[in-house]
Amino acid sequence: MSHPIYIALIPLIPLACFLILGLFGRKYFSNSAGIIGTLGLLTSTLLSLSTAYEYLFVSGKVNGVFQKIEVVKFTWLQFSPGVSIDLGLLIDPITVMMLVVVSFVSLMVHLFSLGYMKGETRFATYYAFLGLFTFSMLGLVLSSNIFQIYLFWELVGVSSFLLIGFYFEKPSAVAASKKAFIVTRFADLGFLIGILVLSFYSHTLDFGVLIERLTTSGSPYLTAINAASFLGVSALTWGLLLVFMGGAGKSAMFPLHIWLPDAMEGPTPVSALIHAATMVVAGVFLVARLFPVFALSDPAALNVVMYTGAFSAFFAAVIACTQTDIKRVLAYSTMSQIGYMMFALGVSKYNGEDGLGYMGSMFHLFTHAFFKSLLFLGAGAVIHMVHSNEMKDMGGLRKLMPITHISFLIACLAIAGIPPFSGFFSKEEILMASFESNKLIYAVALLTSGLTAFYMFRLYYSIFWSKPADAHHHGHHGEGTLSMKIPLILLAILAVVAGFVPIASWITADGTAIHSSIPITFSILPVTLAVAGILLATRLFKTSNELPERIAIQMGGLYKAASRKFYIDEVYLFVTKKVLFNLIGRPAAWFDTNIVDGFMNLLAKLTASLSELIKGYQSGKVQDYALYFFGGIAGLIIAFIYLWK
Amino acid sequence: MNLTLFLLFPLFTALAILFAQNLKQIRSIALAGSLLQLGLAVKLLLAYNAERAAGNPAQMLFEYVQDWFAPLHLQYHIGVDGISIAMILLTSFIVVAGILVSWSMETLSKEFFFLLILLSFGAYGFFISLDIFTMFFFLEVAVIPKFLLIGIWGSGKKEYSAMKLALMLMGGSALIMVGIFGMYFSSHTSTGAHTFDLLLLSKMNIPIATQKLFFPFAFIGFGIFTAIFPFHTWVPDGHASAPTAASMFLAGISMKLGGYGCLRVATFLMPDAAHEYSWLIILLATIAIIYGAFATMMQTDLKYINAYSSVSHCGFVLLGIGMLTKTSITGAVMQMVSHGLMTALFFAAIGMIYSRTHTRMVAQLGGLLKIMPFISTVFVIAGLSSLGLPGFSGFVSEMTIFMGSWQNPDNLSRLATILACASIVVTAVYILRAAGKTIMGPITNSHYEQLTDASWNEKFAAVVLISGILIVGMAPFLLIDLIQPGTEIIINKLGAAISH
């Protein structure tokens, strides 16, 4: 394996960018910060590519099976013998794929931001935060220890908080960043307790050892964790589901998805980075990392993953059809696509060809990263031009922004699953895996893929067609700088060709290559549905007409509910405001000032009044003292007489 | 290494301050004195590590014994282990930072700096003492200056707060006194002579009945210093009224005296009773953690926010001690260090904001990041550290406590651990609410726009504390290696208590 230092540099370079730009950026690099950050990321990307090459083609495979390789490891925080947070670098197929995806997309975002964020007063700070985020995310995918991943998980959370709240003077941005952090932190509570449960029984925090101990049938650890149960559910299931809760939070799975649409308050390139390709797939990555335990020891927990994923995929697709803010459409579409990845893991098994779902999930993660970040960057270019996120302010932009238009179209075709664009291939694998495993899931997946095509083309037509071009007076702006166009072009190329990458022979559950061949007959149905979705969108949105509105009115309550995101936000608001604040917080504060402190004050008052009472006897009058004196003597005499026996 | 220097340095600094002519001289002397303390503490750390590396197995190093008042067996017995060194280092960091943030204290500056230094004298004395009566003596030395600091230089309802703090802490002291006398009078049963000596007491087995009787006195007494529920109400009022440096000393040092005492005196010397009452400690600690966090959420004054959050965070210390596992106790010591540094930093940031805007009300503040980026960044760092972000000290100490607590498989411990874990979500809520309103958002008051960012002394203070937080947070193994031998001895004693 290649030298550890060289892999360690992949996350450390962005960290260095963060430190340099964070500490000295304002003073010394206010203009060159972008270049510094971009060059740093370029180095990281090249190192990632070379690591991937080295692993996939040179050193990763032993006897036809890809190995998990721990490149370096040192004990950082020891809890008890054998149980410690080790900082290590773990290289395996999913890690190298994630390294490439994260560093590449981050590089594209760095590049795009050169133009997009130009003139921003906190330009250097922006690049510092991007560096911090990239460092955390790369550290997360390289983690060799479950607590190490939690550590980077939290860092990812805070750096996304900083990025979402970048426009800190906007109250809505502040609110969104808080919401994202708190909701994911709540989910991380599950993750943390899950770690406690799993480590308690497996006596380790190391991924390799943990997976081995909890998958070897008959191992004392596995026996113990299966024997222990709480509320009729085994400790293993509890542990895995709690860990999954953390994953569901970061990956915006129902019902922990509410932060994602609001997070669009951040600068748009940030959304391309965080909310398309990296942080939101962390949950999928986490489940994939622990996949052997899920698949081999606890199918029940895996079923939960499957249903959560499938429901989120469908639920988000329905909402996406009704949103009018283009970034929110993309946000819900992300949620929906991640749902695909989740249920693909859920339907999968571990060994060989049965692991098709796992492969499909990773494949979709890979292709989605490119076309989704392309969509966000394209949306960013559009917003940059029209200064609005609302569909109604757009339309007819295809002539004004030809590059954005074509690349956006490619991305839409990719996400809709039209051959030969990349999304088609990865989606087919997922559909095939679910078809073989669970027909209900398959049906949901099909339906969702039709919806996806529909809402994506609704979005596409509303931005680029719909109205005549001269409806706008923004033309003077142009399409943005070269640094904004290059990422669009590069990502568009990848959105076309990423489907031809032989993921099946590289990234599988058990490390052996699988040969998936999907018959053409199987593809007919999903592609037909996708085309139908596109045609429907064309009919409704290509030219501005009143049909969509009429349909919306006819659908009545359903449409309204979907456009209000099924009122999930209101439910949360009720729980936090009414329950947490009014039912717990306020009474706790009241109890503290009135009862606890009141008691202390009462004690003080009683002491004071008691002393007031006694004080009277120290009057300073000699007569009084004489009286007490003789009274005392008389008392003593009486006592002596009666008690002296 | 002569540990008495830790008493002599502050003493001479305090004396020198009395002879100083003007503010400039006073604060220079105070700063020089505090830097000397810091240097001495670092030297102690190095000397200690060198001794341990050379294989010195003694429980306490650099011991020195001198009879003080023989008829009552009072001794001046000093010595340190890793736990005390961690506390001494913490104290020295906070003293430096506290002096720096008080740089422009103009009212009665001589008395102010004198009292600050006196307080550090008491704290060092407490941490090096191995005689529980001397310990008690130094504990008292550290209380009285606080009463004056709040009463004279405080703000708001300062007389009430000063009185409340002094009375409640004195109440705690009274309980402690009962506890240590209980141990003293039972000590002759095994050796024939009475003793206050911590090491001698730890070697004998105090009868279980005696332990059960006196443990609550000692533990609750020290517990009051570290805000044990329901005796925590001096904390919010005391902090809110105290001048910045006094708040920093109070949270950073004084509350640690209590935690250290709970561990070193109550738990270590009366291990059977510690097992007996462990459920109660866990219960009270959990209440403090959760209830403190929710009470914090409702506060509107930055100082009250930090004070209530201290109640919650110190609950972690007590939880770690109450769980009685090696990992949890190690975590408790780490949490003391971590809480001391980050709360001091938080109070420093609040003080800097208050001295400029003249308000601490969250509702009145807003958008400070644009006007004073340095102070705002310090505030955010303190907040992130408080909510347990990896890289800062809070994360490692809290996680160690959680891992240690989870080792106890009974239902109460499990529930307590889960609630403690849940509290970090509530922490995120109140920290982000406070930061979101004061630091971020639009500027609420146009006259804020003329305000200046931190001065050199404030920056220096912040850097000292932040570097402490980062050292612990990034390289926790350094701290763990330091305190581990000490916690091991406590755990062995606790383990022996179960077996007999």
- The full DSSP string for B334-353 is HHHHHHHHHHHHHHHHHHHH
3-state SS record for A249-297 = HHCCCCCCCCHHHHHHHCCHHHHHHHHHHCHHHHHHHHHHHCHHHHHHH
Q: What is the mean predicted confidence (pLDDT) over A406-418?
A: 89
Q: Please, which residues have CB within 8 angstroms of residue B267's CB and are 6 or more apart in sequence? A: B219, B274, B321, B324, B490, B494
DSSP string for residues in B372-411: -HHHHHHHHHHHHHHTT-TTSHHHHHHHHHHHHHHT--SH
> What percent of chain B is modeled with pLDDT above 90?
48
Smallest CA–CA distance, residue A107 to chain B, in Å, is: 25
A377 has a pLDDT exceeding 70: yes
What's CA B214's distance to the chain center, in Å? 24
pLDDT at A468: 66
3-state SS record for A388-436 = CCEHHHCCCCCCCCHHHHHHHHHHHHHHHCCCCCHHHHHHHHHHHHHHH
- Taking an 8 Å cut-off on Cβ atoms, the answer to whether B403 and A189 are in contact is no
Q: CA A482, CA A486: separation in Å to the nearest integer?
A: 6
Nearest to A427 by CA among A344, A493, A347: A344
Residue of B429, B431, B472, B491 to mutate, interface with A, max A Cβ within 10 Å: B429
Look up the ipTM and state it.
0.89
- Taking an 8 Å cut-off on Cβ atoms, the answer to whether A175 and B326 are in contact is no
Q: Please, which residues have CB within 8 angstroms of residue B70's CB and are 6 or more apart in sequence? A: none
Token representation of residue B323: 């769980």
Instruction: Write the DSSP symbol of residue B64.
Output: E
Which tops the pLDDT comparison, A542 or B308? B308
Which tops the pLDDT comparison, B222 or A476? B222
pLDDT at A472: 53
Measured between CA atoms, the residue of chain A closest to residue B381 is A158
pLDDT at B499: 60
Q: How many CB atoms lie within 10 A of CB A640?
A: 9
- Residues of chain B numbered 276-315 and touching chain A (CB < 8 Å): 291, 294-295, 297-299
Task: Write the pLDDT tens digit of every residue in A456-489.
Answer: 988 888 888 877 655 555 555 567 778 888 888 8
pLDDT at A152: 93
Residue B134's Cβ-side half-sphere holds a number of Cα atoms within 13 Å equal to: 26
CB contact, 8 Å: B230 with chain A?
yes
pLDDT at A477: 57
Question: pLDDT confidence of B470, banded at 50, 70, 90?
Answer: very high
A259 has a pLDDT exceeding 60: yes
Question: What average pLDDT is seen over chain A?
Answer: 85
Q: What is the mean predicted confidence (pLDDT) over B207-229?
A: 90
Place of tokens 């893929």: A449
- Least reliable range by pLDDT among A121-125, A578-582, B409-413, B476-480: A578-582
Measured between CA atoms, the residue of chain A closest to residue B402 is A196
Q: Which chain B residues contact residue A588 at CB under 8 A?
A: 291, 294-295, 298
Question: pLDDT confidence of B59, banded at 50, 70, 90?
Answer: confident
A60 has a pLDDT exceeding 90: no
Q: Which among A76, A193, A581 has CB closest to B297? A: A581
pLDDT at B91: 94
Contact B226, B106 (CB under 8 A): no
Q: CA B85, CA B128: separation in Å to the nearest integer?
A: 8
Q: Which chain A residues contact residue B335 at CB under 8 A?
A: none
Question: pLDDT confidence of A645, banded at 50, 70, 90?
Answer: low
pLDDT at A466: 75
- Least reliable range by pLDDT among B65-74, B273-282, B472-481: B65-74
Bridge pairing between strands B74-80 and B61-69:
antiparallel
Query: What is the C-alpha end-to-end distance of chain A, expressed in Å?
Result: 100
> What percent of chain A is modeled with pLDDT above 70?
97
- Taking an 8 Å cut-off on Cβ atoms, the answer to whether B406 and A200 are in contact is yes
Task: Write the pLDDT tens digit of every residue in A193-218.
Answer: 999 999 998 888 998 888 988 888 88
Dihedrals phi, psi of A572, to nearest 5 degrees: -60, -45
Q: CA A199, CA A187: separation in Å to the nearest integer?
A: 19
Instruction: Write the DSSP symbol of residue A621.
Output: -
- Residues of chain B numbered 153-172 and touching chain A (CB < 8 Å): 164, 167-168
Question: pLDDT confidence of B298, banded at 50, 70, 90?
Answer: confident
Task: Write the pLDDT tens digit of every residue in B326-369.
Answer: 999 999 999 999 999 999 999 999 999 988 888 888 888 887 88
Smallest CA–CA distance, residue B229 to chain A, in Å, is: 9
pLDDT at A3: 64
- Least reliable range by pLDDT among A126-140, A322-336, B29-43: A322-336
Question: pLDDT confidence of A189, banded at 50, 70, 90?
Answer: very high
pLDDT at B472: 93
Task: Write the pLDDT tens digit of every residue in B129-183.
Answer: 999 999 999 998 888 888 889 988 988 888 888 888 888 888 899 999 999 988 8
pLDDT at B282: 94
Task: Write the pLDDT tens digit of every residue in B415-432.
Answer: 999 999 999 888 988 898
The model's pTM: 0.90
Q: Which chain A residues contact residue B328 at CB under 8 A?
A: none
A1 has a pLDDT exceeding 60: no
Q: Which chain A residues contact residue B476 at CB under 8 A?
A: 76-77
- Least reliable range by pLDDT among A165-179, A251-265, A516-530: A516-530
Q: How many CB atoms lie within 10 A of CB B10?
A: 25
Start-end of H helices in B106-131: 109-128
What's CA A213's distance to the chain center, in Å? 28
Q: Which chain B residues contact residue A175 at CB under 8 A?
A: 436
CB contact, 8 Å: A227 with chain B?
no
Task: Write the pLDDT tens digit of every residue in A618-633.
Answer: 777 788 888 888 888 8
- A-B interface: how many C-beta pairs under 8 angstroms? 122
Q: CA A511, CA B265: separation in Å to the nearest integer?
A: 56
Contact A235, A196 (CB under 8 A): no
Q: What is the mean predicted confidence (pLDDT) over B27-45?
A: 93
- Taking an 8 Å cut-off on Cβ atoms, the answer to whether A589 and B298 are in contact is yes
What's CA B411's distance to the chain center, in Å? 30
Q: CA A208, CA A143: separation in Å to the nearest integer?
A: 11
Contact B38, B92 (CB under 8 A): yes
Bridge pairing between strands B61-69 and A65-66:
unpaired
Task: Write the pLDDT tens digit of every residue in B252-276.
Answer: 898 999 999 999 999 999 999 999 9
CB contact, 8 Å: B477 with chain A?
yes
Residue B492's Cβ-side half-sphere holds a number of Cα atoms within 13 Å equal to: 9
Q: What is the mean predicted confidence (pLDDT) over A10-21?
A: 90
pLDDT at B190: 66
Contact B81, B327 (CB under 8 A): no
Contact B218, B181 (CB under 8 A): no
A292 has a pLDDT exceeding 60: yes
Residue of A136, A185, A262, A593 to mutate, interface with B, max B Cβ within 10 Å: A185
B286 has a pLDDT exceeding 70: yes
CA distances from B304 to B169, B240, B241, B301, B354 (A): 19, 6, 10, 5, 13
Question: pLDDT confidence of A576, banded at 50, 70, 90?
Answer: confident
A86 has a pLDDT exceeding 60: yes
CA distances from A593 to A314, A589, B299 (A): 49, 6, 11
Long-range contacts of B264-267 (CB under 8 A, 24+ apart): B264/B83, B264/B198, B265/B132, B265/B135, B265/B176, B265/B179, B265/B180, B265/B198, B265/B218, B265/B222, B266/B179, B266/B215, B266/B218, B266/B219, B266/B222, B267/B219, B267/B321, B267/B324, B267/B490, B267/B494
Q: Which chain B residues contact residue A200 at CB under 8 A?
A: 406-407, 409
Q: What is the mean predicted confidence (pLDDT) over B201-206?
A: 83
